[in-house]
Amino acid sequence: MTNYQRTTLYIGVTSNLRSRIYEHQNKIYPASFTAKYNLIYCIYYEVFSSIEEAIDREKQLKKWNRSKKEALIRKFNENFNDLTEVINGWDE
């Protein structure tokens, strides 16, 4: 997740990406990091077959510096476009 200016990045894990994006965008948890920094744009995601794999990847990514994170995002989403509509269009 990121903000309008794409200056702050947030990495997290969820079992329901659509629902979690909704929570971030609607500031369901007003005291959260994403609410505080207005992180409402989903610009990158990865899908895993197990929560353990997802958590391991989250920990790995959180150790990276910003330039490495940005390079990864750009390979997936060159212009840091919001992917919410794409994700919401997935079949369930």
69 within some domain: yes
35 within some domain: yes
Q: What share of the chain is helix, strand, coil (3-state, %, to 5)?
A: 45, 5, 50
Could you give phi then psi for residue 41, rounded to 5 degrees?
Answer: -110, 125
* Count of domains observed in the chain: 1
Q: What is the pLDDT of residues 25-69, one digit of tens each?
A: 999 999 999 999 999 999 999 999 999 999 999 999 999 999 999
pLDDT at 92: 54
Residue 1's closest CA among 50, 59, 32?
32
8 within some domain: no
27 within some domain: yes
What range does the domain containing 75 cover?
Answer: 17-85
DSSP-derived letter for residue 30 is T
31 within some domain: yes
Rounded Cα–Cα distance for residues 9 and 26 (Å): 17
90 within some domain: no
Name residues whose C-beta falls within 8 Å of residue 53's C-beta, 6 or more positions apart in sequence: none
23 within some domain: yes
Whether the full predicted model's pTM is greater than 0.85, yes or no, is yes
pLDDT at 46: 97
Hunting for tokens 């794999």 — which residue is that? 53
44 within some domain: yes
Rounded Cα–Cα distance for residues 79 and 15 (Å): 26
